[in-house]
Amino acid sequence: MREPALLVEEIGAILQVTLNRPEKLNALNAEIIEGIREAVRTYARRDDLRCFLIRATGRYFCAGADLVGGKRSGPLREGTSAIREWYRTGMGGGMQPLYDEMEDLEKPFVVAHHATCVGGGLELSLSCDFRLAAKSARYLFPEAKLGAIPASNGVSRFTRLVGPHWAKWSILANQAIDADRALMIGLVHDVYPDEAFDEKVMAFCRDLAEQPPEMVAMAKLTIDLAADVTAERARKIERLGQSVLQVGAEAAGLMAKMQARLTRPK
């Protein structure tokens, strides 16, 4: 019996999904995309799940979209406007709507790259809030070899993260990026030794899952909003977010606990 292309597991407050097509280098297909979408919806509706972790099996994290099993011929025959609509709706209603849902959900997403991450796998990762890399991870957009650009987050979100300087290096010049350079340019948040990678990833996710949920939700929302506006408007956004948190039960409870600790007799 064939194993599922996506494994889903709950580890305490962590919802872990694992790309599981090692024989295809974890190339993204409809089963994986739909499986992640269903997991995201489960994550959204359950308060006890506080961290969403994406991992993979095998010698690649992900080799990109499954071009062999994909359905690109239709829009290519229909002209440029059809191609743009196909990408806007996410390869037949798949990828981009999922990425938008991940970015909009006010809960954290973490992706852990234990090995090479290519094309569509990197685009998926760009919609996560945190990207963690093993020392042996590397990153590449191979679309240039097909006369194309990465068009589902690859230009838009990648450029916002690393700037046009490194986006041109990766996309236009088609250069690979190793884990250390990925850390330097801001593509990943941390790089761990291969032998300690699993332990470090789980420690990070457990710590993240313990953060106050209302604070996490407001922080994700206000940071994303502040990134798109002037400094003056960003300050208004942070004041608005803080005022909402300060009148809430979560902040009141945490403040009461802190005051009790401070006034406890020694």
Asked if residue 84 has pLDDT above 90, the reply is no
The predicted-structure confidence for 10-52, as pLDDT tens digits, reads as follows 999 999 999 999 999 999 998 999 999 999 999 999 999 999 9
Asked if residue 93 has pLDDT above 60, the reply is no
Sequence letter at residue 109: F
The predicted-structure confidence for 117-172, as pLDDT tens digits, reads as follows 999 999 999 999 999 999 999 999 998 888 989 888 889 999 999 999 999 999 99
Where do the domains of the chain lie? 6-209, 213-263
Sequence letter at residue 92: G
Looking at domain 6-209, its CATH superfamily turns out to be 2-enoyl-CoA Hydratase; Chain A, domain 1 (3.90.226.10)
Nearest CA among 125, 193, 133 for reference residue 161: 125
pTM here is 0.92
Token match 């990828």: residue?
A: 95
Asked if residue 211 has pLDDT above 90, the reply is yes
Using a 10 angstrom Cβ sphere, with 0-12 exposed, 13-18 middle and 19 or more buried, the burial of residue 166 is buried
